Amino acid sequence: MKNNISIRILVTLLISFYFGPVFAQSAVDASNSNRSEQLNIIQAVLDSKLAERKVLRERILVAGPDDVAELEAELAETNSEISEARETFEQLAVGSVDLGIFNTTSSEFDWRTEMTQVMMPIIRNLQALTEKPRKIEALRTQIQTDSEKLLAANEAVAAIDESLTLATDDVTKQSLTELQATWKDTALEFGRSIDIAKVRLENLQKNDGNIFQSIKSGVVGFITGRGLTLLIAVISAMTVWYLSKFLTKLLLTKSRGEAVKTFRTRQRLVQYAFSIFTVLLMAIAVIVVFYVRGDVLLLGASFLIAGATLLGLRHAIPKFIAEARLLLNLGSIREDERVVYNGLPFRVTALNMHTILKNPELTGVIRLPLENMMGMVSRPAGKEVWFPASKGDYIMLSDGKLLEVLEQTTELVQLQNLVGTKTSVPAADFYGMTFDNLSRGDNFAITGTFGVGYTHQSISNDSIPMKLKEAVAKSLANTDFNEHVVSVAVELKEAGASSLDYWVCVTMTSAAVRSYFKVSRIIQQACVDTCTRENWDIPYPQLTIHNQ
């Protein structure tokens, strides 16, 4: 659709250049034949009004005091009609030349008027777009209104004529005759007004006949006038922009030995200062071009846009100052520091129009608009832990479940138990959970309790702990994870209600965390085998019933 419109415009322009003169000549030949008749009509109207004015002046000289005011009002109206007829005659004689540009008025100084002079070209251009249609519509309305008045006047003349045929008194006939003459003059006046309005309407519509020449002159006038001004303004603005960009690169060269943080602060300061300075220089360059070229319309429009921009920025300046402090790394939140967002700690990786937050232990980043950073407070991170677990760690929950951390993102943490069942927990909830991370340290311990009967109390502090320790260590030595065993310890824990309870602890490296429950079972198996081999009693809880 757009291509078809472009082709039509191109064809129209070509026709206007090559065939426009032919169409224009035919239009001129057709209009010149009526021009003489129109001038004759207006001249006849003008002569009639001049004669009428002469009669009125003579009547004023001999009129009584009561009739002078009425005659002077008629004279003023006649003078106005004569002026209007002369303007119409002159306009028709000179053709499409706009005579309005020769009308000059002078007025006293008014500061309000002077303040609005800059905006007047814009208003005039907007009015000019609809001036001709408004004039045509006004003339059509006038013709319609005057035609209705002319019809009413003719009906009045006809009614008076009928009254004359019925009148018998001579005095009455004389009054009716004078009244009829008045209405005939009124009808004649409206007829002349209609003729003048039709001439004006035809003259306005005649200027629209050569549309191709109008398009041609309009396009050429824009290209050589305001279009060239806009092109020069754009070139000037782009020149200022490229020059500012070149100077910014020169000032942002990092010096040797300069700290990265100091360089970043200086980099932002230079970038934002030059950005503001560049915008101002570009605006000044455009306004200077409009001023030198003398285009008052574009100059007024530029001042209007600049004023509207300043008014819009008036309420936003405090916000911009606060954001500028953040961008310059001088605010409450700074780069490479720790900040809590949505219940999770993050490192401020980059402060910019969109700030980047990243947790080293989580997959993904948070990108926030600068306005969302207002009110946040960061602090130096030091060597703090960023998250209680890492991908691949094994954690022990308070209920004894051993889970592997499969994936950690800024939203979810995915966990899996030893049999492959997966579960997901919101990252913020996981961060607040209490659990043992068996993979974070170098070692972890597996503890258990085993009871021996009181009949072996005599060897409870020496022989029993030693033999249990040897049995557990021997059993672990026959497993695949023997290399991860760090130490084995067995001690008497307490004298229980029905047995001597021993505390068994096996320390292993974090690489063998998946064998946690297997080691627990091996501990119990080794202790039971030792008791069987040594004929040690393994008691069980006793229930005593008291009869009353």
Q: What is the pLDDT of residue 28?
A: 46
Element (H, E) at 116: helix 111-116
Q: What is the pLDDT of residue 195?
A: 85
The pLDDT tens digits of the residues spanning 18-70 come to 344 443 444 445 455 566 777 778 888 888 888 888 888 888 888 877 777 88
Q: What is the pLDDT of residue 31?
A: 54
What whole-number distance in Å separates Cα of residue 57 and Cα of residue 75?
8
What percentage of the chain carries pLDDT values higher than 70?
A: 77
Band of pLDDT at residue 86, cut at 50, 70 and 90: confident
The pLDDT tens digits of the residues spanning 404-454 come to 999 999 999 999 998 889 999 999 999 999 999 998 888 999 999 999 999
Q: What is the pLDDT of residue 10?
A: 38
Q: In terms of pLDDT, which residue wins out, 285 or 547?
A: 285
Q: What is the pLDDT of residue 492?
A: 93
Band of pLDDT at residue 246, cut at 50, 70 and 90: confident
Q: What is the pLDDT of residue 430?
A: 93
What percentage of the chain carries pLDDT values higher than 90?
A: 23
State mean pLDDT over 116-122. 61
State mean pLDDT over 387-401. 90
The pLDDT tens digits of the residues spanning 162-216 come to 777 877 777 777 877 888 888 888 888 888 888 888 888 877 776 554 556 666 6
What whole-number distance in Å separates Cα of residue 139 and Cα of residue 128?
17
Residue 300 structure tokens: 């007024």
Segment among 70-74, 295-299, 365-369, 460-464 with least mean pLDDT: 295-299
With residues binned 3-state (H G I as helix, E B as strand, rest as coil), the percentages for the chain, rounded to 5, are: 65, 15, 20
pTM to 2 decimal places:
0.49
The pLDDT tens digits of the residues spanning 249-285 come to 777 665 555 555 555 666 666 777 777 888 888 888 8
Q: In terms of pLDDT, which residue wins out, 167 or 147?
A: 147
Segment among 11-20, 194-203, 506-515 with least mean pLDDT: 11-20
Band of pLDDT at residue 117, cut at 50, 70 and 90: low
Q: What is the pLDDT of residue 504?
A: 95
Query: Residue 94's closest CA among 39, 131, 140?
Result: 39
Question: Which residues, 6 or more positions from 261, have their beta carbon under 8 angstroms from its beta carbon?
Answer: 329, 335, 336
Q: What one-letter code names the amino acid at 450?
A: F
